[in-house]
Amino acid sequence: MGKRFFLAGIIQGSARDDGVHDQRYRDRLRAILEEAFPGDFLYCPVENHPGSVQYADQDARRVFHHHLDLIRESDALIVYLPEASMGSAIEMWEAHHAGAAVIAITPMAANWVVRLFSDAVCETLDAFEAFVSEGKLHRMITDKCKKTKAP
């Protein structure tokens, strides 16, 4: 079976309404990962639930819990955080505790959630692209998989 990636990152951030941040970063993440891991599974919550900020609480709860289930089954969580995101912090926690590789793309390297639950931190999308193209993500996932399946 191929690798499973969950594309996380800021959607609403600290917005006080139902506005969302620019989501074009997801296209770039998808392109980087599809080039390095052709045919592997990439899940993007925005692609699968584009109007989720409008969901009623019951639907939002169901979708968020489903996403957490997907994260626990993933090999890697790729999370884009130009600023803090409470949903992404929960996703990082779940991925970390499930043994998935967590790669944060953020300038917030001093943030406790980033520091404690990331296996790697790339300051920019360009740095993440280099990280992937140099084979570091592949090695990280392979190493984590060996550790979680060790006797």
- Mean pLDDT, range 66-90, rounded to an integer: 96
Which tokens sit at 103?
A: 């790669």
Q: What is the pLDDT of residues 94-140, one digit of tens each?
A: 999 999 999 999 999 999 999 999 999 999 999 999 999 999 999 99
Spell out the domain ranges in the chain.
4-11+21-148
Residue-level pLDDT at 67: 95
Residue-level pLDDT at 50: 67
Q: Are 10 and 25 in contact (CB under 8 A)?
A: no
Task: For 9, list phi and psi in degrees, rounded to 5.
Answer: 150, 175
With CA atoms as reference, report the closest residue to 37 among 78, 2, 72, 83: 2
pTM: 0.90
Give the containing element (helix H, strand E) for 139: helix 136-148
Q: Are 17 and 39 in contact (CB under 8 A)?
A: no
Q: What is the pLDDT of residues 6-16, one digit of tens each?
A: 999 987 666 66
List the CATH code of the domain at 4-11+21-148: 3.40.50.450
